[in-house]
Amino acid sequence: MIKDFFKPSSIAEALELKDKTPGAFFLGGGTRLNKSGENFHAEAYISLEQLGLDFIALEGGVLKIGAMVTLQKLMDSEDVPQFLKDSAGGESNRNLRNASTLGGRIGYCDSSSTVVAGLLAMEADVETARGGKMALDEYIGGKMDDLVTAVILPSSKAVLIQKDQRVTANSRPDLTVAVSVLKDGGKVAKAVLAMGGVSDKPIRLKNVEARLIDGSLSSADAVQDAVQDELVPYTEKRERGTYLNYIGAVLAADCVGRAMKDISGDA
pLDDT of residue 265: 46
pLDDT of residue 168: 87
pLDDT of residue 36: 59
Locate the DSSP E strands across the chain: 4-6, 24-27, 44-47, 56-59, 62-66, 125-128, 132-135, 148-153, 159-165, 175-184, 187-196, 203-204
pLDDT of residue 267: 35
pLDDT of residue 41: 81
pLDDT of residue 1: 75
pLDDT of residue 257: 95
pLDDT along the chain (267 residues), means of 10: 93 97 94 73 93 96 97 98 97 93 96 97 98 97 96 95 92 95 93 97 98 95 98 94 96 96 56
96 three-class SS: helix
